[in-house]
Structure 1
Amino acid sequence: MLKKALVLIIFTQSTFATPSPLPQPLKLITSQGGEIVDSFTAPAGVTGYIVDYRGKALTVYLSKNQQHIFTGKMLDATGRDMGQEVLEEYIRGPQSEKKWQTFSSSNWIIDGSEDAENVIYTFTDPNCPYCKRFWKDARPWVESGKVQIRHILVGILKADSYGKSAAILSAEDPTEALHQHEARDNSSLRPLKSPSEKVSAQLKENHFLMRSLGVSATPAIYYKDKTNAVKLHMGLPSASQLEQIIGLKEE
């Protein structure tokens, strides 16, 4: 099951000093793109590792004889998860910073004040009705200057989605073009048949990023919670969920 999942992982070079030579079971992970980012001592001679793949973190345990690995939770007699603290530290710290930097460096369209307290990233398809609804539901907070939404455009839902995303990115003012499209129920946006090399490259990078995160639908909304951990909300958020996303309500 682990091998099947890891086949789709996008390789990222680890900065963690893994054992040398690497035990064979761990090579199964790294050879298929998994990143071993930390280790910790577990009971009975077992060594625990934090593994990052497809933007998800999990614990992996290596047996004392270094011939077997297993994933999931390792509990002591009191029910305490031996790897939870290390896993959560990684999720709140290095993993979240790495994800946020990746989003920051991507091709996004700004919606809201540059001085907004909270920044949200979302994958948006111009033909996605739930993306349009999310855009409208977020208006009070965006227009108040409290929230900035950064739209990473993709084209996955319909045959003309790619062309419509290209048209928005090619506009003289992409922010205004996106605004006009999302604000209208019957948008007049026409797909661009022959986008420039620059716009084609931007969309290619956006699709690559989306796939590398294991996301296949829109809206896919990324935000930071109160602990600074990057969270993902798939689909249209409810009113209560939207308050959590923009930081007005505890999860």
Structure 2
Amino acid sequence: MGLAHLRGALALVAGLALLGATGGTALAADQSATDNPATDKLPGVLQKAVKSGQVDVIKSFPTDVPGLTGYVLEQSGQHQVVYGNHGYLVVGRIVGPDGTNMSDQYEQKYVPKPDLGKIVDQLKDGDRLVQQGPDDAPVVYVFADPNCIYCHRFYEQAEPLVKAGKIQLQWAMVGFLKDSSPGRAAAILSAKNPVKALLENENGFDESTEQGGIKPATDISDDLQQQLKAHAKLMAEAGGSGTPTLIYKEDGQWQSKIGAPGTDWLKTHVVNDKP
């Protein structure tokens, strides 16, 4: 997934950088995690972000690095782990002396896991999904922008499985990558035949300019605008930092994945045609 396709995702790093460095005392590392730590105990830059409503700090926790405290931030349903020490804010990975990615371990332990089953139920209730494939095939929910080249590649990867009746795609359209994205998404969702409109967009996709093939709608109803926002919110809650974000069921459990993983991956993890 290219950098251009992270637009609209959680922008905590940029937001915090705009605040500028300020003084403050880092929360001393104790022996246990703390939910919703007191704002005045946070590094100064986080204090400003919380007070201005940019982010919430939902948890602090001690790390294995002396004096370094971890913080779990939440914004629009997404989470990020940052670190504080003596008033400084550290954004990035913590790697141990043996090469262990400690940040991954902290994220696994302290970052809340999304309730993907609940997100799927909310998608179904929204009644604005575009279905490809038969009702009885394994389903993948796909958050997609009509101008997303990686969504287009996923479409191409999944197409032979859809035609063979081995997979069902439920497209949840969003629109944030380009100025024409909301209009194209609305054109698909408001069409008399949304599946046909989706195919028009993908089969006419211009990879050189990364533009979908359908003509954008010029008048987007309030209902459609709210639906696009709802899909974007659910994508964020599912942990999606870009498009396509996939929700699928494997071994009876809902899972999520970002990007276009390829036809073979879909066969193994969704169709369960394991080698």
| Structure 1 and Structure 2 fold alike (TM over 0.5) | yes
Q: Give 2:159's match in structure 1, choosing from 125, 131, 139.
A: 139
Closer, same or farther: CA 134–230 of 1 in aligned 2, 3 Å: closer
Find the partner of 1:51 among 48, 73, 87: 73
SS at match of 2:173: strand
Number of residue-to-residue matches in the alignment: 231
The equivalent residue for 2:28 is none
Task: Quote the offset at 1:79 in angstroms.
Answer: 4.5
Q: Give 1:30's aligned amino acid.
A: V
| Residue of 109, 113, 133 corresponding to 1:112 | 133
Quote how far apart the aligned CAs of 1:5 are.
Answer: 3.5
SS in 1 for 2:40: coil
Unaligned ranges ≥5, structure 2? 1-10, 19-33, 207-211
In structure 2, give the amino acid aligned to 1:86: Y
Q: Does 1:85 align with 2:111?
A: no
Q: Which residue of 1 aligns with 2:35?
A: 17
* Aligned mates of 2:221, 2:184 — CA distance in 1: 13
Q: Name the counterpart of 1:232.
A: 258
User: What's the CA shift for 1:163?
Assistant: 4.1
Match of 1:101 in 2: 119
Say if 1:22 and 1:80 are closer, same or farther in 2 by CA, change over 3 A: farther
CA spacing shift, 1:140–1:57, aligned 2, 3 Å:
same
Secondary structure at the residue paired with 2:185?
Answer: helix
CA distance in 1, matches of 2:57, 2:194: 39
Q: Deviation string for 1:91-116 (max 9, x for gaps)?
A: 6xx34337972895465423334444
TM superposition shift of 1:145: 3.8
Which is bigger in relative contact order (C-alpha 8 A, separation at least 6)?
2
> Which shows bigger deviation, 137-146 or 186-195?
186-195
Per-residue CA deviation, residues 117-153 of structure 1 (Å, 9 max, x unaligned), is 342313131x667655542431232342434242414
> Per the alignment, do residues 18 and 249 of structure 1 end up closer, same or farther by CA in structure 2, a change over 3 Å counting?
farther
Q: Deviations over 1:41-90 (max 9, x none)?
A: 22435432233457764433333xx6343233445554545443231245
Change (3 A) 1:103 1:27: farther
Aligned residue for 1:12? Answer: none
- The alignment partner of 1:27 has SS state of helix
* SS of alignment partner, residue 155 of structure 2: helix
User: Please, which of 115, 134, 142 is the counterpart of residue 121 of structure 1?
Assistant: 142
Normalised by the length of structure 2, the TM-score is: 0.58
Instruction: Please say if residues 110 and 151 of structure 1, whose CA atoms lie closer than 8 Å, have aligned partners that are also in contact.
Output: no
- Where do 1:146-225 residues align within 5 Å? 146-154=167-175, 157=178, 162-179=182-199, 182=202, 191-203=216-228, 215=242, 220-224=243-247
Unaligned runs of 5+ in 1: 9-15
Residue equivalent to 2:4: none
Pair 249,169 (structure 1): closer, same or farther in 2 beyond 3 Å: same
Alignment deviations for residues 161-199 of structure 1 (CA, whole Å, 9 cap, x no partner): 654433322223423432455457899965544343323
Q: How many percent of aligned residue pairs carry the same amino acid? A: 24
Q: Aligned equivalents of 2:81 and 2:94: distance in 1? A: 9
Could you state the TM-score of these two structures normalised by the residue count of structure 1?
0.62
Q: C-alpha separation between the residues in 1 aligned to 2:246 and 2:229?
A: 23
